[in-house]
Structure 1
Amino acid sequence: MTIGWFDRLRIERLVWMLDQQIYDLPRARRIATRREVRANLLEASADVGTGEALRRIGGSRGLAEQYLRAEFGDRPRHSWIGAITAAGFTPLILNFVLSEATGAFADGVRAAHGSGTFAYSGLMFLQHAQTVTVDGADLQLSGGGWSFTAYILWLLIVIFAGRLWRLFRRSSQVRVSAADD
């Protein structure tokens, strides 16, 4: 039985959706899984038809969960996607908050004094001190970078969002079980 282009697209859609859900697997394992599922579906499609082959395999979510369980076991696991998302969005949010605080300070200086150069201590524990120079509508800033605690906060958010402590726990359990053999 030949497989038409529409059926091939249906198979590729499932393979692509599966790939998006098994991103925590190592790259080589993910590629091998894609190739294996694609080959099995093409073979099954030739035997029983694409619709039946896709029905028998179930959804991509269930299949992805089976592959992830086979690789990592049943216990909760880390998430690189969560860690990367947190690593990208935390600086955006923190920089927004810091710039809004600085802008509010500058607006207060304009309202109270009109113009001048003022020291602003920044948000406590998150920002270094700044020098704010206001001259009418002109605003000049110097300083105000992230403090050491802001970097520590960013690192902790990344670790907790990605549950990265589970990565280290897994590697220590592997070493213990290897020593038992």
Structure 2
Amino acid sequence: MPHALSLLGRLRIERLVWALDQQLYDLPRASRVATRREVRANLVAAAEDVGVGEALRRLGGGRRLAENYLAAEFGEGPRHSWIAAAAFLTAVPLLLNYVLGEAASAFRQGITAHDATATGTFTWSGVSFLQSGLTFTFDQGRSAQVGGAWTPWTYLLLFAGSIACGRLWRLLPAWKARHRHPAVTS
């Protein structure tokens, strides 16, 4: 017996489709869009046959479905995560800038704690391997600061950390397989 699909039923289906899409961000964009369309069409057809509630129950949940799609695309087991790599590349520079800024501020405060009306130029080598040297110029206790840029080691740390955090080395087997057996187009 066909079931009429109400607005509430369509919204329930759409919520599951978009929740699934959020869990499939490691898939290529075209594959994600095709998956969304396929799942939406299948759910609408199933909802018209057995009802929205039963169609969603039979599906078994968005998380399990997402895992099945990811396993079909990348295989079973641990896989890469662009989201984890992006989170690392976002959080670490913010944290690093905060820590290096606080270290420079501590050096400046140490000079003014010793002499509140300090005048002259003071040099600090910075945090080893992460930061270049800093030069503080004081005039009657007021200071200006030059230097403190990230070193090449810092950029290397960010690059290696994002690869490690996102497990991006797991992309290599899929990339090699794609380039070894190119798709035949006609």
Query: Smaller-chain TM-score range?
Result: over 0.9
For 1:139 and 1:54, the matched residues in 2 are separated by: 65
| 1:88 and 2:90 correspond | yes
Q: For the Cα contact (< 8 Å) 1:110–1:134, is it kept in 2?
A: no
- Residue 58 of structure 1 and its aligned partner are, at CA, apart by 1.0
Report the equivalent of 1:79: 81
Q: TM-score by structure 2 length?
A: 0.90
For 1:17 and 1:172, the matched residues in 2 are separated by: 31
Report the equivalent of 1:47: 49
- SS at structure 1 position matched to 2:47: helix
Q: For the Cα contact (< 8 Å) 1:83–1:162, is it kept in 2?
A: yes
Deviations 1:68-114 (A, max 9, x none): 01111113211111111111111101101100000000000101133
What's the % identity of the aligned pairs?
Answer: 52
Deviations 1:25-58 (A, max 9, x none): 1100100000010011111111100000000001
Listed as ranges, the gaps of 5+ residues in structure 2 are none
- Residue 132 of structure 1 and its aligned partner are, at CA, apart by 1.2
Report the equivalent of 1:162: 166
2:134 to 130, 134, 140: 130
Question: What is the number of residues matched between the two proteins?
Answer: 178
Segments ≥4 residues shifted beyond 6 Å? none
2:8 to 3, 6, 9: 6
For 1:173 and 1:27, the matched residues in 2 are separated by: 19
Q: Which shifted more, 139-148 or 95-104?
A: 139-148
- SS at structure 2 position matched to 1:9: helix
Q: TM-score by structure 1 length?
A: 0.92
Equivalent runs, 1:12-51 vs 2, <5 Å: 12-51=14-53
- SS at structure 2 position matched to 1:118: strand
